[in-house]
Amino acid sequence: MTEILSFKNVSFSYSPEKADVRKAVDNVSFSVEEGEWIAIVGHNGSGKSTMVKMVCGLLFPQEGEIRVMGNVLSEENLWDIRSKIGMVFQNPDNQFVGATVQDDVAFALENNGIPYEEMVERVTSSLKRVKMYEFLNHEPHHLSGGQKQRVAIAGALAMHPKLLILDEATSMLDPQGREEVLQTVLDLRKEIGLTVLSITHDVEEALLADRIIFMNQGKKYAEGTPEEIFALGDKLIEFGLELPFAMRMSKLLQEKGVPLAGKNLTEEELVNDLWTSNFRK
Ligand SMILES: Nc1ncnc2c1ncn2[C@@H]1O[C@H](COP(=O)(O)OP(=O)(O)OP(=O)(O)O)[C@@H](O)[C@H]1O
């Protein structure tokens, strides 16, 4: 397994001179292996954005070290490392720089001096990967939120990133847009083994990840598979997170006396459980 990103005992405080101000990120360690999808979840102020800013070198840890593809992130290698990371942010309207979809995807390639023929090839293949090729000449403001985010993903893909960071990338989308973007990420993982780090409040999105890092007040409270993390149940609620819809529904049904065997993280599991526990003899 190749390690793409690691945090080792990383701490950051916005007021390092004040011992009484809580650290935004406090002694956090984790790693992301090639091909994994890791979701960082946590309530407001738990340190998620500060962690992303450190991965991109916008902030540097005061303690500990961050490695990207084996290299300790520093002022010297910052630009090289940034070129290997694709980012998609929260607001689909703040990310467009091109007048058309293809101009937008080509923007970073042009800035990086990629030869014209290669640029055309990368724009074409990236837009095909996110199923937005037919919108090549469309103006961005005519697209839906989900389509805009898929173009933003294409822009990131065109740079052949080692890591794609989704920073609350679905939080401003309607359910259909959210679904489109998440399906795109799932497809990309299957097709090209893309490594993904997503920062999210959305527990249903976190369920799709291989592993979840659960942050609380700057500290890593827990890390594990979605099953392990959501088994924490009331602890998640206490720290300001919801449980997935299927789990909440299972709990309510059990309280009403409907027999169910499991906790049921997904709707599919719930439907199967309802069927086997109640109807199949
Ligand atoms: N520029 C800043 N100056 C001072 N303190 C800050 C700054 N940015 C964040 N903080 C503080 O650092 C802590 C972690 O904030 P951070 O934004 O990283 O959390 P978050 O989990 O991303 O929250 P949200 O989901 O609201 O974006 C919070 O206590 C926050 O108030």
CA distances from 135 to 98, 103, 117, 124, 131 (A): 13, 11, 20, 11, 9
Tell me: do 139 and 252 sit in the same domain: no
Tell me: do 197 and 107 sit in the same domain: yes
Residue labelled with tokens 């065997």: 261
pLDDT at position 281, please?
Answer: 56
In this structure, the strands spanning 211-216 and 219-224 are antiparallel
pTM for this one? Answer: 0.90
ipTM surpasses 0.90 = yes
- Residues in contact with ligand 1 by the CB-under-6-Å rule are 14, 24, 42, 44-50
**The tokens of 180 are what?**
């489109």
Q: For residue 46, which atom of ligand 1 is closest to its CA?
A: 21
Tell me: do 165 and 275 sit in the same domain: no
pLDDT along the chain (281 residues), means of 10: 95 92 96 96 93 94 95 92 91 84 92 92 94 93 92 92 93 89 91 93 91 96 94 86 85 86 84 83 56
Substitution site in 12, 22, 40, 50 for ligand 1 pocket (most atoms within 8 Å of beta carbon): 50
Tell me: do 228 and 261 sit in the same domain: no
pLDDT at position 280, please?
Answer: 65
Q: Which of 179, 236, 223 is nearest to 205 (CA)?
A: 179
**DSSP alpha helix (H) spans, 130-265:** 145-158, 175-192, 203-206, 226-230, 234-238, 245-255
Total domain count, the chain: 2
207-219 CB burial, b ≥16 within 10 A, e <16: bbbebbbbbbebb
Tell me: do 227 and 250 sit in the same domain: no
Q: For ligand 1, atom 2, which residue shows the shortest CA distance?
A: 14
Tell me: do 133 and 253 sit in the same domain: no
Cα of 245 from ligand 1 centre, angstroms: 27
Q: Is residue 238 one of the residues assigned to a domain?
A: no
Q: Which domain holds residue 135?
A: 3-233
Tell me: do 278 and 195 sit in the same domain: no
Q: For ligand 1, atom 28, which residue shows the shortest CA distance?
A: 45
Q: Which of 271, 238, 84, 58 is nearest to 260 (CA)?
A: 271
**CB-based contact 276:263 (threshold 8 Å):** no
Residue labelled with tokens 């598979």: 225
pLDDT at position 116, please?
Answer: 94
Tell me: do 16 and 92 sit in the same domain: yes
